[in-house]
Amino acid sequence: MTDIDEQATTAPPEAEARGAGEIRGFAERLLSGSGPLLGLIVLCTVLAVMAPNFLTVGNLFNVFQQITVLAVLALGGTAVIITKGIDLSVGSVLGLGGAVAGWTFAAAGLPMAVAIVAGISVGALAGLINGLLITYGRLPPFVATLAMLSVARGLALVITGGQPITGYPDWFRWVATFRLFGVIPVSVLFVAALFVLGSMYLRYRPTGRALYAIGGNEEVARLSGINVRRAKLKVYTAAGALAALGGLFLTARLNSAQPTAGTTLELDVIAAVVIGGASLNGGSGRVSGTLVGALIIGVIRNGLNLLGVSSFWQQIVIGAVIAVAVMTDTLRKPAEG
């Protein structure tokens, strides 16, 4: 009777191993899927205690509005990193897009609508050149986009003469300043729509799903019939166009096209994508996670501002957050023998 009881109450080693594996799997899914969101909630809770004016409706929408530009750039950066790439030029392309739009309107005298198209087109062209250098020139993404960083910034300075271009139509400024019901910024709604479209593309379109295959194993993706070169060209072109679009948002908000706009913003873009759960090793990443990552960066900066912390210390904190995010991504993956 005792033996029977022991057999009934003692789980086989295989069952114990299976149970432990299920627990580990659940923990990994929780960390990779909900980890950034849980981190954002904890961060907001801490700041709400330390800064009582943090959780006001007006301040929360200010945070959303402040990350508008970063979120637009990070949307393109997500697709790039999924393919195991990197784009260091997005900050400079942002400045170039704003400069081209400003010059087209103020110096060339063309309608603002034409200027907007010109700015986005130049950004797309810069992204396409990045893609060509990477796919056909066989340059590492780091090198190709680093070169574009310098070229785009130089072109922005040449076009503007190193001076800001101001004086835009009211309707253009309205895009970045108008608040629906006096509370919700229109720019936030526009960015939300972009993220919904981006999420649907990556999740449901075959070409979107193919990006994960390319990032996971480019050679296997090629042998499976995926046109890797074409996919990468599209990704970098889209990233460039979105960077220029972010430049237009910033120009509308400031009512000024600054040739130095977006300096070091590429670091925040990479941080937002990685904090959101994407891997620098490619093959993983979600648009929703990127949005949470951008919000974490925005909340940290907003909270530190409310607490009166110097911008110099804010850079240190953001750098530490990036290091922790990348380290977490590395530790989450099994060691390769």
Question: Is the separation of the CB atoms in 187 and 68 below 8 Å?
Answer: yes
pLDDT at 310: 87
pLDDT at 8: 46
10-residue stretch averages of pLDDT, the chain, 337 residues long: 49 54 50 72 91 88 92 97 96 97 95 97 98 97 97 97 93 87 86 95 95 95 95 97 96 93 92 90 92 93 90 84 74 52
Alpha carbon distance 215, 233 (integer Å): 14
Q: Environment class of residue 132 by beta-carbon count within 10 Å: exposed (0-12), middle (13-18) or buried (19+)?
A: middle
Six token digits for residue 40: 């954002």
Q: Environment class of residue 117 by beta-carbon count within 10 Å: exposed (0-12), middle (13-18) or buried (19+)?
A: middle
pTM of the full structure: 0.86
In the chain, where the domains are located? 38-331
Alpha carbon distance 80, 211 (integer Å): 9
CA distances from 277 to 34, 74, 152, 267, 270 (A): 9, 13, 29, 16, 11
Question: Is the separation of the CB atoms in 102 and 161 below 8 Å?
Answer: no
Write down how long the chain is: 337
Which residues, including other chains, have CB under 8 Å from residue 34's CB and lie 6 or more apart?
A: none
CATH class as words, domain 38-331: mainly alpha
Alpha carbon distance 52, 162 (integer Å): 42
Q: In 3-state terms, what secondary structure has residue 325?
A: helix
